Structure 1
Amino acid sequence: MNTATYKTLCRTLDTELQTIKVRQDKKDWSQYSWAIVTLMSKRMSELSLTQKMLAGKMNCTQQYISKMLKGQKNMSLETICKMENTLGINIIKCLNENEQ
């Protein structure tokens, strides 16, 4: 195999490895997001809270809550803490317990 072919194969392999890493990161993120949404939805049901009611308590819009519940919003730690305080649950602690 000549040097040019070898370099091309190395670049292709490197690109494929980066693509796999991005997919894995996205998969990890989506698993956490789904777990958060599940906890959030369950607690909203327990408290009989609508999206609009939760939005009012969190000082955001109903559309924002809707996007979070659909997994279309990347939640910041600040948002997760607001949810914890508003819903009276420990989201981050629950996620860690589920992994063990």
Structure 2
Amino acid sequence: MANNKLDKFKKLVSQEKSGWLDKAKWRKENEEWLDISFKIAVKVMSALKRNKEIGTFPKNQKELAEALECTPQYVSKLLKGQERLGIDTITKVAKIIGVKLLEVPEEEMKEGIAINEELSLNQFTQTIKSEECVMVTYEFNKQMNKRNNLESIYSELIQASTYVRRSDSHLKVA
């Protein structure tokens, strides 16, 4: 009887390799864009749910496919969070559902502060991690020790700089 159960089990189990290891390696290699694609998919599904509640177009995947002029199968892949999306697709979907899906941080650049008459520097605003700020300060101090004649410029530079603490553990150095 035990042998009969084993035979039934062997018939149910496929002899073909599933490829799960290759799939897991692929997911690990593509983790960054898969995470972003998944987050976009969640936002799109939330927007479709909200549109359905308030009766706004598009309310479902089929209507979104019509608006995107693509197949419902493509929208299904998009909403699984495993589709490699181009910027054009992301912006088109965002426009159709009325939700911001991608944000690119803007760099501020301010020019033209003269520190003293001998040295004129341009001032730029740059966001850096706080750990990087420590390294920049260390390297700058090392250079200043080599050049004693620049100490007065250093103090003026420090006075002209401002540090703004942000919640995402970055410093904004102006």
- TM interval, shorter chain, is 0.5 to 0.7
TM-score normalized with structure 1 length: 0.66
Bigger relative contact order, structure 1 or 2, given CA contacts below 8 A and separation 6+? Answer: 1
TM-score normalized with structure 2 length: 0.39
Post-superposition Cα deviations, 1:55-79, rounded to whole Å, max 9, x if no partner, equal 1111111111001111232111111
Q: Secondary structure at the match of 2:30?
A: helix
1:30 corresponds in structure 2 to 34
Post-superposition Cα deviations, 1:29-83, rounded to whole Å, max 9, x if no partner, equal 1111111011111001001111101111111111110011112321111110110
List gaps (5 residues or longer) in structure 1.
Answer: 1-19
1:72 corresponds in structure 2 to 82
2:113 corresponds in structure 1 to none
1:11 corresponds in structure 2 to none
Number of equivalences: 75
Q: Choose 1 or 2 for highest CA Rg.
A: 2
- Choose which of 81, 85, 88 in structure 1 pairs with 2:95: 85
List gaps (5 residues or longer) in structure 2.
Answer: 1-24, 53-58, 106-167, 169-174
The answer to which structure has the higher helix fraction is 1
Output the aligned Cα RMSD.
2.3
The answer to which structure has the higher strand fraction is 2
